[in-house]
């Protein structure tokens, strides 16, 4: 009974879906690896597990899987303007933070990508609250050796094929999972790189074993001793023991060999140069990198890397080795985690951070996109990992010298010349009252122009300081300076008249100095600018022409 239970545990993890075990007609992976080991022409056995002992192969898998797991995953929604990110989605939590209580998102995505490259498929069970629910709650990875994908081809012709995954348990049983409940990340044809590249990996393993044995045996001490006479069995064993103890192993390499009784040493070891040992090791590194689509420079093989091409090799690595795997993650997540009724949602993995370049290139790229109107300052700061500037940083800017192509080819005709504006200088001769055209129209227009300039300056200053906590104190100080300038400017205009009312002019300035700061605090101050211009011009012109006028507060 104990033997039966032991055998059941031994083969239970590979128990078939139909209740039978693997047979010779349909051998599974464990049976072939156990009784029919896959040996390459180099004489070594290669499996997905033993392949990891090859440094170049392990580095390729570790590098690609880590870079696929590094970028942030975003759930996006299509909008008329393009796409926008959706926050709080369950897929966002599973792929960015914690897919299950035991793992981080980085560990989970790295593990599945590693399995997909080495074993041909990386599988995870999608846990849901109940069988009828479409909302995932957790993702649990399953080792590829415990999963078998089956396609039910017994359905009638024309019916859709049903795919299920057989998950073998530790106790010898199995669980059948539907395709919708399994996140399956796999490469082209579900091929394992370790299986397809068996000869290249076998050559690399064989070269490693040869190097270890070569130096472990003393490198140069593999040869033959010749004695002029025949040695007895005891003398033969004693001589072999001395040679092994004093000269075998890398620690005893190059120790002098003492020969007696006319013995001679004949070297039989093939020099590493003759066996092209170093060339073979370099070739296997490049071959393994080629199988995984990784530039040799990314795994530390810098034989043909230069300063002029190292950056382009890094870009090629992302586009040729990383992006295909991120696309597989996006499409599989769309199918299994979002579902067909996602309402226009999709999973997006941004790999731009992997090719962002140095600080100078990033700054130049950001500046170019902002000045071209493609990116706002806030978006540029976010791409550099900085905080935003608030609402003012959400505006788009563009160089004003740019013009459409059709205007460059066929420029518009220049506009007709415009008559120069009237001279408003204070030294312009102005006819006395009653003379010239329009009576005092020229003087009134001059007063209005000067009043307009001062009132616009006033409106702009008040609008900029309206939210200040110390607005009243600011207004008192600002108007003192502002009205001094008004007094100086209009004094020159008053001199154009014979006997202006200087006392009334001074009284008007004092009145405005006392009332303007209070009126500036009103909400509709900017809207009253036209009325203030008209009032100032009329009041001061009346004082200059010795006419009675009504001075408004």
- Rounded to an integer, what distance in angstroms lies between the CA atom of residue 434 and that of residue 233? 149
Answer whether residue 95 shows pLDDT above 80: yes
Q: Collapsing DSSP states into helix, strand and coil, what is residue 21?
A: coil
pLDDT digits (tens, 9 = 90+) for 414-463: 666 655 555 554 444 444 444 434 446 777 777 888 888 888 888 888 88
- Rounded to an integer, what distance in angstroms lies between the CA atom of residue 96 and that of residue 104? 8
For residue 524, what pLDDT is reported? Answer: 72
Higher pLDDT, 444 or 96: 96
Residues 6+ apart with CB under 8 A from 146: 13, 167, 168
Report the range out of 181-185, 204-208, 372-376, 531-535 with the highest average pLDDT.
Answer: 181-185
- Verify that 345 and 403 share a domain, yes or no: no
b/e code 448-468 from CB counts within 10 Å (16+ = b): bebbbebbeebbebbeeeeee
Answer whether residue 165 shows pLDDT above 50: yes
Higher pLDDT, 101 or 477: 101
- Rounded to an integer, what distance in angstroms lies between the CA atom of residue 539 and that of residue 223? 122
For residue 432, what pLDDT is reported? Answer: 45
- Verify that 176 and 195 share a domain, yes or no: yes
Q: Collapsing DSSP states into helix, strand and coil, what is residue 168?
A: strand
What does DSSP say about strands 82-85 and 73-79: parallel, antiparallel, or unpaired?
Answer: antiparallel
- Rounded to an integer, what distance in angstroms lies between the CA atom of residue 45 and that of residue 206? 10
State the burial class of residue 375 (Cβ atoms within 10 Å of its Cβ: 0-12, 13-18, 19+).
buried
- Verify that 339 and 374 share a domain, yes or no: no
- Rounded to an integer, what distance in angstroms lies between the CA atom of residue 72 and that of residue 95? 8
- Rounded to an integer, what distance in angstroms lies between the CA atom of residue 210 and that of residue 286? 19
- Rounded to an integer, what distance in angstroms lies between the CA atom of residue 291 and that of residue 286? 9
45 forms beta bridges with 39
> In this predicted structure, which of 47-56, 77-86, 247-256, 293-302 has the lowest mean pLDDT?
247-256
Nearest to 119 by CA among 190, 63, 22, 45: 190
Paired tokens of 378:
């806030």
Contact 299, 289 (CB under 8 A): yes
Residue 306 included in any domain: no
Paired tokens of 74:
């975003």
Whole-number average pLDDT of the chain: 77
Residue 401 included in any domain: yes
- Verify that 483 and 536 share a domain, yes or no: yes
- Which of 353, 376, 398 delimits the end of a domain? 353
Residues 6+ apart with CB under 8 A from 525: 459, 462, 519
Q: Of how many residues is the chain composed?
A: 553
- Give the DSSP H/E element, type plus range, for residue 213: helix 198-216
Residue 241 included in any domain: no
- Verify that 132 and 196 share a domain, yes or no: yes
User: CA 67 → CA 25, 60, 64, 107, distances in Å?
Assistant: 41, 11, 5, 12
- Rounded to an integer, what distance in angstroms lies between the CA atom of residue 38 and that of residue 30? 12
Report the Cα 299 to chain-centroid distance in Å.
21
- Rounded to an integer, what distance in angstroms lies between the CA atom of residue 469 and that of residue 241? 99
User: CA 534 → CA 36, 202, 538, distances in Å?
Assistant: 105, 97, 6
Query: Phi and psi (nearest 5°) for 162?
Result: -105, 125
Paired tokens of 445:
């227009």
pTM: 0.58
- Rounded to an integer, what distance in angstroms lies between the CA atom of residue 526 and that of residue 31? 89
State the residue range of the domain holding 395. 356-409
Query: Phi and psi (nearest 5°) for 85?
Result: -80, 140
Split at pLDDT 50, 70, 90, the class of 250 is low
Residue 229 included in any domain: no
- Rounded to an integer, what distance in angstroms lies between the CA atom of residue 403 and that of residue 180? 54
| 304 DSSP assignment | S
Residue 518 included in any domain: yes
- Verify that 90 and 140 share a domain, yes or no: yes
- Verify that 193 and 99 share a domain, yes or no: yes
- Which of 389, 409, 429 delimits the end of a domain? 409
Residue 72 included in any domain: yes
Paired tokens of 103:
């793992």
Residue 424 included in any domain: no
- Verify that 194 and 91 share a domain, yes or no: yes
82 forms beta bridges with 79
CB-CB neighbours of 252 under 10 Å: 15
pLDDT digits (tens, 9 = 90+) for 508-518: 888 887 887 77
User: CA 78 → CA 328, 347, 374, distances in Å?
Assistant: 20, 11, 19
pLDDT digits (tens, 9 = 90+) for 27-44: 555 555 555 556 666 677
For residue 12, what pLDDT is reported? Answer: 43
Contact 12, 169 (CB under 8 A): yes
Nearest to 172 by CA among 31, 17, 15, 27: 15
- Verify that 45 and 19 share a domain, yes or no: no
In percent, the amount of the chain with pLDDT more than 90 equals 15
Report the range out of 244-258, 424-438, 520-534 with the highest average pLDDT.
Answer: 520-534
- Verify that 4 and 150 share a domain, yes or no: no
- Rounded to an integer, what distance in angstroms lies between the CA atom of residue 245 and that of residue 235? 15
Radius of gyration of the chain (CA): 44
Contact 94, 105 (CB under 8 A): yes
Paired tokens of 54:
């090859």
Residue 75 included in any domain: yes
Paired tokens of 102:
């035991």
How many domains, in total, are found in the chain? Answer: 4
Q: Which residue has the tokens 């192993």?
A: 249
Contact 325, 113 (CB under 8 A): yes
- Verify that 500 and 455 share a domain, yes or no: yes
Q: Which residue has the tokens 């045996």?
A: 217
- Rounded to an integer, what distance in angstroms lies between the CA atom of residue 498 and that of residue 431? 12
User: CA 147 → CA 33, 116, 177, 178, 279, distances in Å?
Assistant: 16, 13, 10, 12, 40
Nearest to 522 by CA among 466, 447, 460, 465: 466
- Verify that 346 and 389 share a domain, yes or no: no
| 418 DSSP assignment | P
Split at pLDDT 50, 70, 90, the class of 202 is confident
Greatest extent of the chain over all pairs of C-alpha atoms, in Å: 151
């Amino acid at each position: 009974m104990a033997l039966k239970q032991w055998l059941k545990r031994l083969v239970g993890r590979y128990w078939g879906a139909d209740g039978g075990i693997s047979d010779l007609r349909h051998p599974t992976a464990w049976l072939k690896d156990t009784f029919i080991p896959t040996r390459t022409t180099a004489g070594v056995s290669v499996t997905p597990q033993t392949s990891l002992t090859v440094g170049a192969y392990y580095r390729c898998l570790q590098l690609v899987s880590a870079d696929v797991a590094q970028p942030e995953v975003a759930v996006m929604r299509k909008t008329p303007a393009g796409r926008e990110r959706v926050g709080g989605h369950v897929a966002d939590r599973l792929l960015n933070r914690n897919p299950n209580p035991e793992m981080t998102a980085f560990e989970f995505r790295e593990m599945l990508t590693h399995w997909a490259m080495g074993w041909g498929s990386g599988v995870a069970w999608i846990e849901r609250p109940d069988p009828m629910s479409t909302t995932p709650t957790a993702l649990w990875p399953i080792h590829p050796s415990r999963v078998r994908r089956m396609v039910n081809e017994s359905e009638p012709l024309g019916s859709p094929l049903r795919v299920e995954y057989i998950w073998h348990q530790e106790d010898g049983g199995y669980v059948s999972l539907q395709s919708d409940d399994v996140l399956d990340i796999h490469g082209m044809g579900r091929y394992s790189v370790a299986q397809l590249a068996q000869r290249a990996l076998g050559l690399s393993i064989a070269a490693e074993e040869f190097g270890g044995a070569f130096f472990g045996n003393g490198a140069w001490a593999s040869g033959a001793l010749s004695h002029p006479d025949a040695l007895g069995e005891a003398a033969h064993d004693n001589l072999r023991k001395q040679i092994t103890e004093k000269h075998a192993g890398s620690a005893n390499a190059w120790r002098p060999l003492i020969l007696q009784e006319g013995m001679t040493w004949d070297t039989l070891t093939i020099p590493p140069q003759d066996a092209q040992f170093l060339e073979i090791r370099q070739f296997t590194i490049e071959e393994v990198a080629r199988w995984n689509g990784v530039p040799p420079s990314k795994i530390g093989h810098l034989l043909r890397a230069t300063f002029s091409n190292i950056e382009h090799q890094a870009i090629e690595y992302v586009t040729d080795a990383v992006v295909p795997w991120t696309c597989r993650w996006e499409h599989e997540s769309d199918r299994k985690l979002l579902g067909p009724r996602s309402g226009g949602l999709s999973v997006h993995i941004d790999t731009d951070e992997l090719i962002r370049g140095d600080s100078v290139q990033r700054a130049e790229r950001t500046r170019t996109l902002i000045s071209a109107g493609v990116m706002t300052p806030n978006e540029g700061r976010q791409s550099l990992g900085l905080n935003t500037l608030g609402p003012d940083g959400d505006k788009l800017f563009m160089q004003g010298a740019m013009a459409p192509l059709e205007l460059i080819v066929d420029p518009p005709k220049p506009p007709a010349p415009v008559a120069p504006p009237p001279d408003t200088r204070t030294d312009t001769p102005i006819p006395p009252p009653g003379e010239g055209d329009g009576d005092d129209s020229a003087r009134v227009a001059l007063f209005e122009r000067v009043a307009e300039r001062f009132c616009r300056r006033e409106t702009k200053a008040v609008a900029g300081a309206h939210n200040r906590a110390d607005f009243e104190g600011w207004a008192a100080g600002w108007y003192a300076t502002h009205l001094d300038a008004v007094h100086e400017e209009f004094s020159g205009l008053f001199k154009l008249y014979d006997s202006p009312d200087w006392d009334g002019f001074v009284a008007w300035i004092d009145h405005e100095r006392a009332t303007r700061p209070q009126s500036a605090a009103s909400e509709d101050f900017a809207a009253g600018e036209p009325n203030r211009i008209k009032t100032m011009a009329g009041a001061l012109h009346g004082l200059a022409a010795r006419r009675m006028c009504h001075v408004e507060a």
